[in-house]
Amino acid sequence: MKKLLFPFVLLLFAVAVQAQIQDPVKFNSELKILAADEAEVVFTAAIDKGWHVYSTDLGDGGPISATFNVEKIFGAEVVGKLKPVGKEISTFDKLFEMKVRYFENTAQFVQKLKLTGGAYQIEGYLEYGACNDENCLPPTQVPFKFSGKAEGAAKEAAAAAAETKAEEQPAKQETVSGTAPVAAIGGADGPTEIKVADKVDLWKPVISELNSLGETTSQEDMSWIYIFITGFAGGLLALFTPCVWPIIPMTVSFFLKRSKDKKKGIRDAWTYGASIVVIYVTLGLAITLVFGASALNALSTNAVFNILFCLMLVVFAASFFGAFEITLPSKWSTAVDSKAEATSGLLSIFLMAFTLSLVSFSCTGPIIGFLLVQVSTTGSVVAPAIGMLGFAIALALPFTLFALFPSWLKSMPKSGGWMNIIKVTLGFLELAFALKFLSVADLAYGWRILDRETFLALWIVLFALLGFYLLGKIKFPHDDDDTKVSVPRFFMALASLAFAVYMVPGLWGAPLKAVSAFAPPMQTQDFNLYNNEVHARFDDYDLGMEYARQHGKPVMLDFTGYGCVNCRKMELAVWTNPKVSDIINNDYVLITLYVDNKTPLPSPVKIVENGTERTLRTVGDKWSYLQRVKFGANAQPFYVLIDNEGKPLNKSYSYDEDIPKYIEFLQTGLENYKKEK
């Protein structure tokens, strides 16, 4: 029975490891001989959808750059730096406040070599960083080893061999001194030679224990339903603009009167509505196919694009305030309209729908533009089309409904001053969003003209002015002289003024979670009275575990990275919660382990992981190895609660800004720790 059980346990262990270990990037390397004395090492990667690999020379304080590292070399010389090849995506990263460059789908890096003649050997590794929208991998190494004999002169071969003789020796291995045992870590065929004093069990794998606690790594992306609803809301907003609303009764009456057959008129109205849907969905698909989903995503964070979009919104806002009218060339709509009159049947109806799209551009243009910018950040080809589908359905719905129920036309609100109020309100909102796009460019160029307090001050003034306008205290050229304030206008003014007041504490550093997605990062604020941050007590696993044992406290391990975007989001959005910070600071020993810490180990450590020999060269390598072999995971952020023997107290926690869920995660760990004592 035991013989049958053992293979089954191994199978479960393999499945558990596979459930969390992510391997989204697959590299291969080759040596290409270009000439008698010239060669190049080529690294080619296949990247899973949704992931990207960062390019070279990104600078300090940013994500992991791709680097070429040599351990042994003779008979050859490295020429120049590692060069990226292919289509790079360059974008501004708001968290790092810097431009980053990366590859999607495929990546290639090339390192040139000079062959000095005779036999040659080169051994080393490519190191790279990879992320998706939620997680980042630790610095990952692609080892390589090439050898051969170069043709041509070898006059410098002897000197080169003499100079590199020392480099040919294997790196000195860390040894265990005294009576301290060696930790044999899960997945290794032999000892790791990592000194862990007398706490061997601290490195023992606990993957099966995590699974028994309900471990899961499922994460959700932006749903199609959310994108559709966003587009539908934009369509409803466009519906109540002066460009669209007055056209509804005119168009429906036309369809009902053009034919003696009422059923045919209704069918024509349905066709008209369907034509509107087809036009806008086709527009969404065309934009995506022309530019590409990744290009749209890159554009959404591109500084120049954001400046242009900011200016566009300012111009439209000025138009909505009554400064001037924005219309497409009249000959466009006239030409389409005359074509519709000259034709009959379905083509005529389709051309009428196209005329509506042109005529209403001044009102629908900024809404459509903003919608496309927002959904393009998903990196999906179909996202803009789904958003435009929701927009078009909302726009087309009244034409078909009023055709089905023509009596409703009599009760339909007439165009008037209320429509201008909506138009002006939309102008204020466009100015607010224009500042958001300007903020991206400001961060990109480092102008520091729109720091957090400046941005909030402008938003406070804008929404206060909107409130005063809705109360009738401010007038624009197209407004009437009616001094009465309707009940809906009063409540809209109340909401706008309340929102302005809500933002005031942000001038002194209040988090303002409601506007955190729009306002610049907290670090751009010069004057900040808010102080509720969480700091780790230890950045060393063994030392932190010893401290926790002596003080009888459970441990919270925080596997993070300097280049981890979502790690910073969790620290700012979740850890700053008073209850969360109180539990972490007082009830746990927080140990933060940076998997991209480049501090060299006293000496490299050779390990065998799952049958493959690897070398741990940095502190970050060590912590990344700990995360993989002990917990079966390699993405950050990764939070796990353990007792003083290194056993899990709850399932792990990844990126999720649900504060009650995070509090429950911490409290469950405390309860389980108390049960053990």
Contact 181, 618 (CB under 8 A): no
- 399: CB partners within 8 A, 6+ apart: 248, 251, 252, 269, 272, 273, 276
Q: How far apart are CA 87 and CA 555, in angstroms?
A: 44
160's tokens: 């080169």
- The confidence band for 376, taking pLDDT boundaries of 50, 70 and 90, is low
Q: Which residue has the tokens 């439209």?
A: 316
Between 232 and 323, the higher pLDDT residue = 232
Query: Confidence class of residue 240 from pLDDT cuts 50, 70 and 90?
Result: confident
Average pLDDT over residues 208-219: 68
User: Which band of pLDDT confidence, cut at 50, 70 and 90, is reported for residue 288?
Assistant: low
| Residue 10 in this model has a pLDDT that exceeds 70 | no
3-class DSSP assignment, residue 620: helix
Q: Is 131 exposed, middle or buried (0-12, 13-18, 19+ CB in 10 A)?
A: buried
Q: Which two tokens stand for residue 33?
A: 């001989």
CA gap 181, 292 in Å, rounded: 56
pLDDT at residue number 555: 94
Compute how many other C-beta atoms are within 10 angstroms of the C-beta atom of residue 139.
23
- The reported pLDDT for the residue numbered 11 is 41
- Cis peptide, bond prior to residue 384, ω within 30 of zero: no
Does residue 163 carry a pLDDT above 50?
no
Cα–Cα distance between 131 and 54 in angstroms, integer?
Answer: 8
The residue among 486 and 519 whose pLDDT is bigger is: 486
CA distances from 347 to 20, 256, 265, 353 (A): 55, 18, 15, 10
The pLDDT-based confidence of 375 (bands split at 50, 70, 90) is low
Q: Are 559 and 636 in contact (CB under 8 A)?
A: yes
648: DSSP letter: B
Q: Do 444 and 92 meet the contact criterion of CB atoms below 8 Å apart?
A: yes
Model pLDDT, residue 503: 93
- pLDDT-above-70 percentage for the chain: 70
Helix 487-503 vs helix 452-470: crossing angle, to nearest 10: 160
What's the burial of 422, exposed, middle or buried (CB within 10 Å: 0-12/13-18/19+)? middle
Alpha carbons 278 and 393: distance in angstroms, whole number = 10
* CA 167 to mean position of chain CA atoms: 42
pLDDT-derived band at 252, boundaries 50, 70, 90: low
Q: State the burial class of residue 6 (Cβ atoms within 10 Å of its Cβ: 0-12, 13-18, 19+).
A: exposed
Q: Does the structure show a pLDDT above 60 at 248? A: yes
What pTM was estimated for this model as a whole?
0.47
d(CA 116, CA 152): 9
**Per the structure block, which two tokens stand in for 275?**
């034509």
Q: What is the pLDDT of residue 116?
A: 84
From CA 421, how far away is CA 427, in angstroms rounded? Answer: 10
Contact 181, 90 (CB under 8 A): no
* Stretch among 2-11, 103-112, 133-142, 179-188 having the lowest mean pLDDT: 179-188
**Mean pLDDT in residue range 375-404:** 74
Q: For residue 272, what are its two tokens?
A: 């008209």
pLDDT of residue 225: 79
Most confident range, picked from 9-18, 95-104, 530-539: 95-104
Better-scored residue on pLDDT, 139 or 261: 139
Question: 302 falls in which pLDDT band (50, 70, 90)?
Answer: low
Nearest to 125 by CA among 143, 149, 98, 106: 143
Per-residue pLDDT at 475 exceeds 80: yes
pLDDT for 42 beyond 90: yes
Q: Lowest mean pLDDT of 222-236, 290-304, 379-393, name the range.
A: 290-304
Round to whole Å and give the CA distance between 658 and 76.
54
What pLDDT, in 10s, does the model give residues 614-657? Answer: 888 888 888 988 988 888 887 778 999 999 989 999 999 988 88
Interatomic CA distance for residues 152 and 117, integer angstroms:
6
Determine the residue type at 306.
Answer: N
Query: Hey, what amino acid is at 659?
Result: I
Contact status, residue 149 vs residue 119, Cβ threshold 8 Å: yes
pLDDT (0 to 100) of residue 154: 43
Averaged confidence pLDDT in the chain: 75
Q: Look at residue 583 in the predicted model and tell me its pLDDT.
A: 92
Compute CA distances 38 → 137, 152, 628, whole Å. Answer: 34, 11, 39
Per-residue pLDDT reduced to its tens digit, 219-231: 334 457 777 888 8
- Nearest residue to 358 (alpha-carbon basis) of 338, 384, 330: 330
Alpha-carbon span 365 to 251, nearest angstrom: 21
Q: What pLDDT, on the 0 to 100 scale, is given for residue 198?
A: 47
- Give the helix, strand, coil percentages of the chain, each rounded to 5: 50, 20, 30
In this structure, the strands spanning 25-35 and 38-47 are antiparallel
Answer whether residue 45 shows pLDDT above 60: yes
What secondary structure does DSSP assign to 285-326, as a single string?
HHHHHHH-HHHHHHHHT-HHHHHHHHHHHHHHHHHHHTS---
Q: Say how many CA atoms lie within 13 Å of 514 toward its Cβ.
A: 11
Burial call 402-419: b when 16+ CB within 10 Å, e when fewer: bbeebeeeeeeeeeeeeb
Give the model's confidence band at 465: pLDDT under 50 very low, under 70 low, under 90 confident, else very high.
Answer: very high
Question: Of the segments 264-278, 287-301, 319-333, 365-379, which one has the largest average pLDDT value?
Answer: 264-278
Copy the structure tokens of residue 595: 């998997």
Per residue in 488-527, pLDDT (tens digit) is 889 999 999 999 999 999 898 887 777 766 777 666 777 7
β-pairing, 76-85 vs 106-115, is: antiparallel
What pLDDT, on a 0 to 100 scale, did the predictor assign at position 437?
80
pLDDT for position 361:
66
Between 23 and 661, the higher pLDDT residue? 661
Contact predicate 61/96, CB 8 Å? yes
Residue 2 has pLDDT above 50, yes or no: no
**Nearest-angstrom CA–CA distance, 383 and 389:** 10
Give the C-alpha distances (Å, rounded to integers) separating 12 from 7, 25, 175, 207, 403. 9, 25, 34, 10, 62
Q: Look at residue 517 in the predicted model and tell me its pLDDT.
A: 60
Q: What is the DSSP string of 156-167?
A: THHHHHHHTTGG
Weakest mean pLDDT among 201-215, 337-351, 383-397, 624-638: 337-351
